[in-house]
């Protein structure tokens, strides 16, 4: 079903059941994905891509950070909130962070389903 989610058997991340490879660990999810002819790739759109850099420029020796992602419905109701990464920066260090939303058209034979909810 379109939008159905499950956990990747390799890394445990919540992913779409229709995926041939896990977008997190990039490992194959189906044996037939590597042994048979590949299906026609569905077009992927990227309606949102944001990249930014955080730098430690304060006088303190270490500066801690948290990378948090929130997903909300169009009415503002929180669907999911996840801490993606935490860490500390020393003076002069930086981290580059990229957020991408990738969307694929459903397979022609797939029937619509309710959107997947958070874990």
Q: Which helix (H) or strand (E) holds 26?
A: none
Give the integer Cα–Cα distance in Å for 107 and 65: 40
Whole-model pTM: value is 0.63
Domain boundaries, the chain: 1-39, 47-103
**What is the pLDDT averaged over residues 13-37?**
76
Measured distance CA(19)–CA(3) in Å, rounded = 11
Which runs of E-coded beta strand occur in 13-111?
14-16, 44-55, 62-72, 78-90, 94-104
Residue scoring higher pLDDT (98 or 108):
98
pLDDT at position 111 over 80 = no
């Amino acid at each position: 079903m379109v939008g159905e989610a499950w956990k990747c058997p390799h890394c445990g991340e919540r992913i779409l059941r229709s995926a041939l490879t896990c977008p997190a660990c990039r490992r194959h999810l189906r044996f037939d994905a590597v042994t048979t002819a590949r299906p026609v790739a569905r077009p992927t759109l990227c309606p949102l891509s944001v990249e930014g850099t955080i730098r430690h420029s304060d006088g303190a020796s270490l500066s801690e950070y948290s990378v948090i992602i929130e997903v909300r419905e169009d009415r503002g109701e929180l669907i999911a909130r996840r801490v993606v990464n935490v860490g500390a920066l020393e003076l002069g260090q930086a981290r580059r962070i990229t957020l991408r939303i990738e969307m694929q058209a459903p397979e022609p034979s797939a029937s619509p389903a309710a959107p997947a909810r958070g874990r």
